[in-house]
Structure 1
Amino acid sequence: MKNLLYIFVFLLGLTLQAQTGLYHSGNMQVHGNLGFHTNFINDSSFDQTEGLVGFYGNNVIQVLGNIPPTLWDAEMMVFDNILLQNTVNIANNFSFFQGNVLTPKDNQSVYLNFMDQGTSTGEDNPRKVTGFAAINNRDVFLFPVGDENALRTLTLNSEGVTPLAICAYFFENPLSPTSISASFNTANKVRDIGSVSDREFWIVQSDVPAQVTISWNARSGLGLIPNATFESIIAIGWSKASNQWIVIGNSAMSGDLTEGFLTTKTFVPSEYEAITFGTIPLPTDTFAVDYPTLGNYFLSPNGDGINDFLVIDGMEQSPNNTLMIYNRLGQKVFEKVNYVDEFRGMANAGSLYVNKSIGLPEGVYFYLVKLDDVGLEYTGYLFLDRQ
């Protein structure tokens, strides 16, 4: 009789709406097992303290409504997935048996939420959260996220308890994602980054400083990045402050170009829109492969049309540059930002600038070139001939 009484009370708060699902507007609790084979619309308190709620069937089951239900234990065996249009809280455990939990990827406020002690079991490539998962009041958690075909977990290790953290994975080019309106230009990056992955990224948000661990596999395509090596792989993030990819950095990593993982340095996830893999700029990534040194130069500004002004090879590859020239005593005699063939043997800096009408004396000079666009610096010598 006790079990029948619970079922009776339970039914008082439910209305079965034709073709739409099970609508709850009462005060439901589960003290046993409850199975959903249809959509569930929750518009009232559902704060269960024990029992198992299961989702079963061959068709999509949606969870809708205005109030997130809280489930103690839950399991799913839905061949065509569960679609969350309303957050679902997990107090104890969520078991993945069949299907994915889908959430709207363009809405970070809807997620499968693992509460203070909430865990998950059974996640793998065919069953996981495809969209956003979240945690409450946790410091360490492995998010069971991925895309439609693969589990691509992210481990969050916070320096303290985080009241709320959310995470989702996207097997999409961050330059032109298909499931969100934001885009993260892979060409817009600090010069400490050589290449940005065009295959995948994660969104992770938490206000507490943390390290995250993410992995790559053959599908990630890191081996396809020109001149990439295992040692060149770094964690990078799209900075909300500067709207560009910046280096987060690694504290540990293991594997090779085909498969591996890295753990980031400590950062505040909410300061970044997205994180992914990048590479550090090796010489073979840049202009330096064609110009391993800029060489030494001969200058004879005598008006004969030959070597009358200093032309440095490859400077056109970096319009944002600086050229500085020093004499043998280390005194700066010339400086030009965004240099384009202006040096003709005349000083524009230092004490020798007062003699600009007669030009610099013949001899050997030392130059320093900074190429801001490619993140390189070069040094060399030039011989100034007054014959």
Structure 2
Amino acid sequence: MKNIFFISFLFICLVAQAQTALYNSGNIRIHEEGQIGFHTNLINDASFDQNVGLAGFYGNLPISVSGAFMPIFYDIEFFNDNGVFLNTSMALTNDANFVSGDVITPRNLEDIYLNFIQNGDYFSVSDVTKVDGYAAITDKQFFSFPVGSSEQLRPLILNSNAVNSLAKCAYFMEDPNNPSAFATSFNTSRKTRDVDVVSTTEFWHLTGNVPSTITISWNQDSNISGLSDAAYKVGIAGWSKVGNQWVDLGSVAQGGDLTNGFVSSNEFVPDDYAAITFASLAIATEVVNLDNYYLTPNNDGLNDALVIPELEQSPNNHLQIYDRFGLKVFDKVNYTNEFRGFSNVGNVVVGEKNGLPAGVYFYLVTLNDLGTEYQGFLYLRR
């Protein structure tokens, strides 16, 4: 971790709450190579948006960010197990390093969020460090929102056909029939004919006015077996604001089983839907399971590359590999054993140079010569 110069001046005493806070009235700016560490609350009542360098949020006590103006940082580091609470929005233009602890926003106030502007991105998110509430993007076309509940990371991957001026997302681990942060409920018994059963376990709220596709993933807590007896029947449903019912948003790409998996939607406009979740679809195309593979790309001659024998029957093929959240990490037409644990997809930051992290991946393969599709699991070990 970088050495940080901790600001210990320019603070005010909040007598009623017996807390200190750093109060910005326009006297603070982080210059190039500059570093500032917050161990106390930030009250930002002036423009604080011409920053470069690093701003870090540290300590063992919860930190709140409030004030009349949204602070905009260049690099941000979060290292506070008790969380950073946003009472006003905060933004970044480069990298956010999630070391420990959540960034928490009010779920009933979607206009307060952590905003990733243009080149803003993140790394190191996990079940114990993420955005618990709303994350947003500005001037971005593709993004994996690092959102979740207090217990786990549940990202939503957005792929728009143009740049979003603003898009926001939050995850809710609750029944859409009784949402805690919305004035209306999303009755799971109101649905179109092509939607069979709608999840009562979880949902996402996504906003944006650009036509987009999304990918969401499920795990053991999603209770997918309560929706369907087969993973290939699982798709994405959205609560239509116009029709006041759940409609099918599609199942274009899919992988996994009833315990872990992901699904991608057809194109839709997020602002047309108030909630998004999993549903079993009345009409679904079965994908046949192939073997699971174990890959150890250490150049010892054993399991260094992904070799799928069935591809010999169809040189005209298409292989796609996804991580456990449904983010595509490898894509190859006419695959001939090229995957050795490295990504070839440009929107993947981690894994392009040093190799993808160890873990479980899903592969989908289309054998065009035979007119069939297969899927399976891939276990990557470093």
Name the TM-score, length of structure 1 as normaliser.
Answer: 0.68
1: distance between equivalents of 2:204 and 2:67? 27
After superposition, the C-alpha distances for 1:318-341 in whole angstroms (9 at most, x for unaligned) are xxxxxxxxxxxxxxxxxxxxxxxx
Q: Are the equivalent residues in 2 in contact too, given 1:236–1:249 (CA < 8 A)? A: yes
Q: Name the CA distance, whole Å, in 2 between partners of 1:66 and 1:176.
A: 32
Instruction: Give a deviation string over 1:12-60, Cα, whole Å, max 9, x none.
Output: xx44234241111124211211111111010101013311111111111
Q: Does 1:26 align with 2:26?
A: yes
Tell me the CA shift for residue 250 of structure 1: 1.6
Q: Which residue of 2 is the match for residue 207 of structure 1?
A: 209
Q: Following superposition, which runs of at least 4 residues in structure 1 exceed 6 angstroms of deviation?
A: none
* CA contact 1:166–1:205 (8 Å) conserved in 2: yes
Higher helix share: 1
Work out the CA distance in 1 between the residues paired with 2:202 and 2:189.
15
Aligned to 1:132: 134
1:194 partner SS: strand
Determine the C-alpha separation between the residues in 2 that align with 1:58 and 1:230. 42
Q: Give % identity.
A: 43
Provide Cα deviations, 1:166-193, integer angstroms capped at 9, x if missing partner: 0111111100123444321111111221
User: 2:172 aligns to what?
Assistant: 170
Residue in 2 that maps onto 1:266: 267
Aligned to 1:363: none
- Equivalent runs, 1:147-166 vs 2, <5 Å: 147-166=149-168
For the residue of structure 2 that corresponds to 1:68, the secondary structure is coil
What CA distance in whole angstroms lies between the structure 1 residues aligned with 2:271 and 2:264? Answer: 17
Pairs within 5 Å for 1:27-46: 27-31=27-31, 32-46=34-48
1:331-350 aligned within 5 A: none
Aligned equivalents of 1:180 and 1:148: distance in 2? 19
Worse overlay, 156-165 or 249-258: 249-258
In structure 1, the partner of 2:279 is 278
Moved more, 16-25 or 197-206: 16-25
5+ residue gaps in structure 1? 1-5, 283-387
Verify the 8 A CA contact 1:201 1:276 in the aligned structure 2. yes
Look up the equivalent residue of 1:210 and give its one-letter code: S
Match of 1:292 in 2: none
2:59 match: 57
Query: Residue in 2 aligned with 1:17?
Result: 13
Q: Which residue of 2 aligns with 1:241?
A: 242
Offset, 1:155: 0.7
Contact 1:28 1:45 in 2 (8 A): no
Contact 2:6 2:38 in 1 (8 A): no
Distance 2:51 2:40 in 1: 23
TM normalised by structure 2 equals: 0.69
Q: 1:186 aligns with which of 182, 185, 188?
A: 188
The answer to whether the 8 Å contact 2:219/2:259 transfers is yes
**C-alpha distance in 1, partners of 2:6/2:231?**
59
Query: Which of 87, 109, 112 does residue 110 from structure 1 map onto?
Result: 112
Rg bigger for which structure? 1
Deviation at 1:157, TM superposition (A): 0.4
Mapped to 1, the partners of 2:262 and 2:99 lie a distance apart of 27
How far apart are residue 280 of structure 1 and its match? 1.8
CA distance, structure 2, for counterparts of residue 126 and residue 267 of structure 1: 31
Q: SS where residue 74 of structure 2 aligns?
A: strand
Secondary structure of 1:35's match? Answer: strand
Native 8 Å contact 2:232 2:254 kept in 1 = no
- Root-mean-square deviation (CA, aligned residues, Å) is 2.0
Say whether the 8 Å CA contact 2:248–2:281 is kept in structure 1: no
**DSSP-derived class of the 1:248 partner:** strand
Distance 1:99 1:179 in 2: 23
Q: Which residue identity lines up with residue 269 of structure 1 in the other structure?
A: P
Whether contact under 8 Å (1:17, 1:23) holds in the other structure is no
My pick for the range that moved more, 17-26 or 93-102, is 17-26
CA distance in 1, matches of 2:140, 2:27: 28
Q: CA deviation at 1:228?
A: 3.1
Q: Distance in 2 between matches of 1:156 and 1:55?
A: 28
CA deviation after TM superposition for structure 1 residue 144, in Å: 0.5
Alpha-carbon distance between aligned partners in 2 of 1:212 and 1:233, rounded to the nearest angstrom: 14
Shift of 1:103: 0.3
Pairs aligned (count): 274
Q: SS state of the match for residue 26, structure 2?
A: coil
Are the equivalent residues in 2 in contact too, given 1:251–1:262 (CA < 8 A)?
yes
* 1:79 positional shift: 1.4
Q: CA deviation at 1:163?
A: 0.5
CA distance in structure 2 between the aligned counterparts of 1:135 and 1:201, rounded to whole angstroms: 20
Q: What CA distance in whole angstroms lies between the structure 1 residues aligned with 2:190 and 2:277? A: 14
Match in the other structure for 2:323: none
- 1:307 corresponds to: none
